[in-house]
Structure 1
Amino acid sequence: MNSFRFRLTFAMVALIGLSVLAAGIVMGNTFKQNHINALEASMVREMRIILDGMAWPGSDASDAGTPYDYYTEQARHLKETTESRVTFIGGDGVVLGDSDHDPRTMDNHAERTEIVEAKRDGIGRAIRHSDTLDENLLYVAVEVKQGKPESGYIRLALSLAAVEASMSRIWSALIVGLLVLFVVAALVSYRLASGLTRPLEQITAAAKRIKSMDYQARVNVKNHDEIGELGQALNAMAESLQIQMTRIHQNEQQLESVLDNMINGIVMIDRAGRMVLINRRAEEVLGFHAGEMVGRHYTEAKQQYELTLIIQDGLEHREHVREEITFYFPEERLLDLNLVPIFEDGSEFGGVLLVLQDVSAIRRLERMRSEFVANVSHELKTPVAAVKGFAETLLSGAVNDPEITKSFLQIIYDESERLNRLIGDILELSKIESRRVPLQFSPIELPSFVAKTVEVMTSEAARKHINLSMRVEPGLFVEADEDRLRQIVMNLLANGISYTPEGGKVSITVQPLIDGRPASGGDDPDYDNIRISISDTGIGIPKKDLPRIFERFYRVDKARSRSSGGTGLGLSIVKHLVELHHGTISVESTVGIGSTFIIDLPVIQ
């Protein structure tokens, strides 16, 4: 744009300079010509006055001497008056007298330009260089008697040195003026060019920024001419583009947010088989990154062969395909695949959309539900069968034997109690899992709370000669539902007593936690969690069973659990109650040494 401004300025200056130069040349030549014409007219008037005041050959003047002497004397006399060179020429061109030279030595002037014109028109003029005087002279000749060339001619010659000096001064002034005008014209032209090009530069710069997707570019419009209207139009276009691109970006961000936060994996494949879209969930399910696969063919993805066949079938037949496939990479999971054809403008095939839904948890829940129903049926069937069998035995005649009757009735009672506990635990677990158990949180002073709970379990421990101990730091508090927290602790203490041989030990320890680490001293107000640890010296739990001990009806030793009257739902209930308190429960166990259940609860709910 600077070069354009320079060229525009140069063109304007050149145009102005040439115009002024041409006008100066015309004016100078016109002035020179007018000056020469004025001199010529003045010389003609002087010659006519001379002719009126002097006698010509053939008059009385011949008495004064020879014609040469007479005319030469007259010429020299007239030169003093006219300050011009005076020459008298006969009709045949012979010089009769001259104010500056001897006429006898001068050439015939019949062919001189001014004499030829005077012979033709009565007045003749010529400008030529005089070798005698070595300067330019203006020669003007007039017939002595108009219409009679043979009468002779009078000629005045005037030096043009004054005219040329005057013209030199005029040209000098013209050149100086022209230079000043050039400078002024250059400044004015540059300012005008800047006024024209600066808005264009701003418009060009703004257009380049818009081209680079900088839609905040604007032109500072000050003029109200065509360029100003162009700038306003560019600003309006940029504002419209900015609004549209903002909306597009918002829509893209919303779409990306939706795709990235979907629980289902989405993969879009065009008609050529190239992957054009992969969301975050699909990356997790398929085990590769979108940056690696977008734009590449689906066959390049390192996935199992069944998925490739499903995509190929969808691209070929352009029909909805649904399959369930077990994936083993990056981890084992069951996926529900829906392959949906995409049609653009209602008819043109654009590719397929692959929707991946992880149904592993759903199938696992279905399996757990089936197992739960089977376990409940089995657990209910066992006591019912026992009650029915012993009742039938009594009805068939055993009732007459008092000892058998008492033994059978005791068994029927025990099985009924077991059935009642089982039904109660099932209902309790159902309420807890459905979040229909309202918890009443209140501050609990842990030393007294643990002491009362241990006191309740002391008699049961004493029957097996088990040492039941507690260690609680004084001043510890926690916000919890007291009844549910006692149910958690009593259940775990009961399990410890049940699975610990006679003469063993069961202990409960409560301590504060700061940043997940045990701290000493309950008077420290900065602890944010408390940890309840219940340990026993029982039979322990095998390592392979540890991940499943909190499942419903899961038993490590099924025979012993049934003999002890357990329902298999206690630990599952404990886990759900702990989670309702926003806490965590874990277990550490070694076979033959014992187990430790660790509960971490927040101090403030």
Structure 2
Amino acid sequence: MKKRLFIRILISYCAVILLVAAIVAVLFSRQIRLIETKQIEEGLLHTARLVSLHPFDEIRSNIRLLAQEAGARVTIIDAGGGVLADSRVDVSQMEIHLNRPEVEEARLRGSGKSVRRSSTLRDDEMYVALAVRNDKGIKGYVRMSRSLREVEDSVQRMYGFLYRTIGFALLPTLLLALVFTRKIFQPIREIRDYTQAIRRGDLSGTLLVKASDELGQLAEAINYLVEEYREKILLAHQEKGKLEAALASMVEGVVVLDSQGRIESSNRGIESILDRRSSEIHGRSILEAFMSADLQRALERFRRERKPVLEEIRLSGKQPNIVDVNISDIQGLPAGEEKTLLVFHDVTRLKKLEQMRTDFVANVTHEIRTPLTAIIGFLQTLLAGALDDRETARKFLRTIAGNAERLSRLVDDLLTLSSIELNETNLKLEPLSVDALIRTVLPMVESSAAEKKIALDTIISGAVPGILADRDRAVQVLMNVLHNAVKFTPEEGRVTLFCREDGAKDWVVLQVEDTGIGIPSQDIPRLGERFYRVDKARSRELGGTGLGLSIVKHLMASHGGKMEIASILGKGTTVSLFFKRA
């Protein structure tokens, strides 16, 4: 591009120089031709006047001498146009000359001229005719002619001189043209290099062009545009950064589809919903990425109606999710660049909480209604007359008292669980001896274990350090676990309490292992939910509220620990309590 532009400018200079030289040559040749022709005409006319002063007979006898002295051809013509004498040609071979333009003009005006090609001499000649008069009128004509070859020779000499002059002047002229071309092209090259750098994304620096002409004004305009461009790019980067930060911090999943229906971009929220990296779904269709026919139908409905669509979708996968998806257009884009925005709000937890709330209300209602029904029924029976039978009344009152105690335990457990979940339980964490904790809890379950002839064993591995716990809550946790172990272990079974240290993670682990009925593997993940029982009939028969393990789970979490359950159906269950080391 550089060479082509430079050569074009240089050739333009050379063309202008050559064109000027050609115009000068044409004008000069024309002017020289006119001057030379005029001089020849005036000379011939002057010579013709001098010759006409002599008698025709004298002219005829001395015509060659006159022609030699005049340096021209001399022709004597009579009044009728006949040639009387000619200095070059035999008159017998010449025709009548009355119709010659110069003779006709001389007959009318006294003198005439003409430039034409001579049919006799085969050459371009200038003819001048002069009418010779006497008393009776025109006596004849004296015609002088001269070849115009010398005019052409003068023009050719002028051309030779001009060519030599142009030849001598061409080299310095070309050097000047080269210098001026380089001077003109230098700012153009700087502008080109600067704009190419901008095209590559390099916006640093400023265009410096030392010129006050249009190129300098162009450079100032480019600098102004680049500065505006820098500000807009900076603003765009800032806005993009804000948008990316907002999208990254959003819990909701965001997906943008291009005009072809392919996933163009997404945020981190969608990764947690799909449990896949964003790069794995980019470039795919919605159906390929989400594998959901319901979502595809919602998208097709949006494309038909071109109205925002809000729909609840169930997504299958490793962890099935329920999401509210909002599908809408992205506004403000150029024509032909339609993009679609899908915003996914994961409502799985809300749905679970709603289900838990529903189950909780149903379970609480059922748990309260059962003892209340018994209490009301026995009271009504007593009021109806059974009170008079002391033995029956005593039996009914014991049943009423047992159901009242069951209601009281249920209310106490609900209040405890609610207090823990609302963080209203103030734990007084302190170093606590494991031996002291065990000695405090074991007597509380020994009587119930003795009734079922269940052996209670304690195995402590080495010197176990203390735990960081609230004394009363730690007692409550261990007692609930031991109570469940005794309750669900058949007669003559065994409940063993292990204590060990997990030095790798600074845990002190209390394990309660029983030889009870065990728990099916599919039910283990749900243990710790409110009112969840593996065997509801047996649990109610044994007086359980279904809240014991839920309280244990939440209390362990409040201590910064955890509860783990392992079980083999028909062989027994192991509950592990992880306390922080003191």
Q: Which of the five TM-score ranges fits, normalised by the shorter chain?
A: 0.5 to 0.7
Is 1:442 the counterpart of 2:430? The answer is: yes
Distance in 1 of aligned mates of 2:490 and 2:281: 61
- In the alignment, which of 190, 211, 214 is matched to residue 199 of structure 2? 211
Q: 2:359 aligns with which of 371, 375, 385?
A: 371
User: Which string of whole-angstrom CA distances, capped at 9 and with x for unpartnered residues, describes residues 107-158 of structure 1?
Assistant: xxxxxxxxxxxxxxxxxxxxxxxxxxxxxxxxxxxxxxxxxxxxxxxxxxxx
C-alpha distance in 2 between matches for 1:437 and 1:354: 42
Aligned to 1:355: 343
Number of the residue aligned with 1:63 = none
Q: Tell me the amino acid that sits aligned with residue 593 of structure 1.
A: K
The 1:283–1:541 alpha-carbon spacing in structure 2 relative to 1, beyond 3 Å, is closer
The Cα shift of 1:464 comes to 3.4
In 2, are the aligned partners of 1:587 and 1:598 still within 8 Å (CA)?
Answer: yes
Partners of 1:218 and 1:238 within 8 A in 2: no
* Cα distance per residue 1:27-65 (max 9 Å; x no partner): xxxxxxxxxxxxxxxxxxxxxxxxxxxxxxxxxxxxxxx
Q: CA separation in 1, counterparts of 2:334 and 2:190?
A: 46
* Distance in 2 of aligned mates of 1:288 and 1:592: 39
**Contact 2:194 / 2:207 at 8 angstroms: preserved in 1?**
no
Partner residue in 2 for 1:580: 558
Match status 1:550 vs 2:528: yes
1:275 is displaced (CA, Å) by: 4.3
- Aligned partner of residue 492 in structure 2, secondary structure: coil
Contact 2:461 2:500 in 1 (8 A): yes
User: Residues 299, 568 of structure 1: CA spacing in aligned structure 2 closer, same or farther, 3 A cutoff?
Assistant: closer
Correspondence for 1:477 among 461, 466, 477:
466
**Deviation at 1:352?**
4.0
Alignment of 1:362-401 (within 5 A): 362-401=350-389
Aligned partner letter, 2:234: T
Partner residue in 1 for 2:100: none
TM-score between the two structures when normalised by the length of structure 1: 0.59
Q: For residue 513 of structure 1, what is the aligned residue in structure 2?
A: 502
**1:572 Cα offset (Å):** 0.5
Question: What secondary structure sits across from 1:544 in the alignment?
Answer: coil
Larger mean Cα displacement after TM superposition, 440-449 or 312-321:
440-449
What runs of 5+ residues in structure 1 fail to find an aligned partner?
12-184, 517-527
Identity of aligned residues (%): 35
Letter matched to residue 253 of structure 2? G
8 Å CA contact 1:441–1:480 kept in 2: the answer is yes
**What residue number does 1:259 align with?**
247
Q: In structure 2, how many angstroms separate the alpha carbons of the residues matched to 1:593 and 1:587?
A: 14
Mapped partners of 1:297, 1:588: distance in 2: 43
Q: Name which of 523, 542, 560 aligns with 1:564.
A: 542
Is 1:597 the counterpart of 2:550? The answer is no
- What is the Cα deviation at residue 366 of structure 1? 1.3
Q: Is 1:326 aligned with 2:309? A: no
Match of 2:403 among 410, 415, 431: 415
Letter in 1 for 2:572: G
Paired with 1:489 and 1:483, the residues of 2 have a C-alpha distance of 10
SS at match of 1:438: coil
2:466–2:581 CA contact under 8 A, matched in 1: yes
Q: Tell me, what secondary structure is at the counterpart of 2:529?
A: coil
Contact 2:430-2:469 at 8 Å conserved across structures: yes
Task: Name the structure 1 match of 2:488.
Answer: 499
1:486 and 2:464 matched: no
> For each residue in 1:583-604, what CA deviation from the matched residue of structure 2 results, as whole angstroms up to 9, or x when unmatched?
2211111223221111223337
Q: Note if contact 1:447-1:473 (Cα within 8 Å) is conserved in structure 2.
A: no
Q: Residue type of the partner of 2:577?
A: I
Given the alignment, which residue of 502, 514, 527 partners 1:536? 514
Q: CA deviation at 1:204?
A: 5.1
Q: Choose which of 302, 306, 330 in structure 2 pairs with 1:314.
A: 302
Aligned ranges 1:185-200 → 2 under 5 Å: none
Return the offset for 1:277.
Answer: 3.8
Contact 2:290 2:315 in 1 (8 A): no
Q: Is the 8 Å Cα contact of residues 315 and 351 (structure 1) preserved in structure 2?
A: no
Letter in 1 for 2:308: H
Name the amino acid aligned to 1:218.
G
Contact 2:429-2:468 at 8 Å conserved across structures: yes
Q: 1:5 to 1:532 in 2, by over 3 A?
A: farther
CA distance in 2, matches of 1:508, 1:253: 57
Contact 2:497 2:511 in 1 (8 A): yes
> Structure 2 CA distance, aligned partners of 1:194 and 1:464?
112
1:526-576 deviation line (CA, Å, top 9, x unaligned): xx3222222222222222221222111111232332232211100001111
Answer whether contact 1:429 1:573 (CA < 8 A) is retained: yes
CA deviation profile, 1:281-316 (whole Å, cap 9, x unmatched):
345546876556656665666733332222122122
Given that 1:468 and 1:506 are in contact with CA atoms closer than 8 Å, whether structure 2 keeps it comes out as: yes
1:339 correspondence with 2:327:
yes
Shift of 1:237: 5.5
Amino acid at match of 1:494: H
Superposition pairs of residues 227-238 of structure 1, within 5 angstroms: none
Alpha-carbon separation, structure 1, partners of 2:492 and 2:390? 37
TM superposition shift of 1:418: 0.6
Match of 1:501, SS state, is coil
User: Could you tell me whether the CA contact under 8 Å between 1:5 and 1:194 is conserved in 2?
Assistant: no
Question: CA distance change for structure 1 residues 272 and 446 in 2, over 3 Å: closer, same or farther?
Answer: same
**Structure 2 counterpart SS, 1:338:** strand
**Count of residue pairs the alignment pairs up:** 424
| Contact 2:565-2:574 within 8 A present in 1 as well | yes
Partners of 1:239 and 1:347 in 2: CA distance: 28
**Contact 1:321/1:339, CA 8 A, preserved across alignment:** yes
Shift of 1:386: 0.9
Deviates further, 344-353 or 261-270: 344-353
SS at match of 2:522: helix
Asked whether the equivalents of residues 556 and 562 of structure 2 are also in contact (C-alpha less than 8 Å), the reply is: yes
Task: Tell me, in whole angstroms, the C-alpha distance in 2 between the residues paired with 1:399 and 1:322.
Answer: 64
Q: d(CA) in 2 for partners of 1:470 and 1:587?
A: 19
Residues 472 and 234 of structure 1: is their aligned pair in 2 closer, same or farther, counting only changes over 3 Å? farther
- Consecutive unaligned residues of structure 2, counting only runs of 5 or more, are 12-174
Contact 2:440 2:475 in 1 (8 A): no
CA RMSD of aligned residues (A): 4.3
Distance 2:190 2:510 in 1: 74
What is the CA deviation profile of residues 85-111 of structure 1, one whole-angstrom value per residue up to 9, with x for unaligned ones?
xxxxxxxxxxxxxxxxxxxxxxxxxxx
Other structure's SS at 1:587 match: strand
Structure-1 residue corresponding to 2:114: none
Measure how far apart 1:409 and its partner are: 0.9
**Aligned-partner residue type, residue 554 of structure 1:** Y
Residues 433, 299 of structure 1: alpha-carbon distance in 2 compared, 3 angstrom cutoff:
closer
Residue 94 of structure 1 aligns with which residue?
none
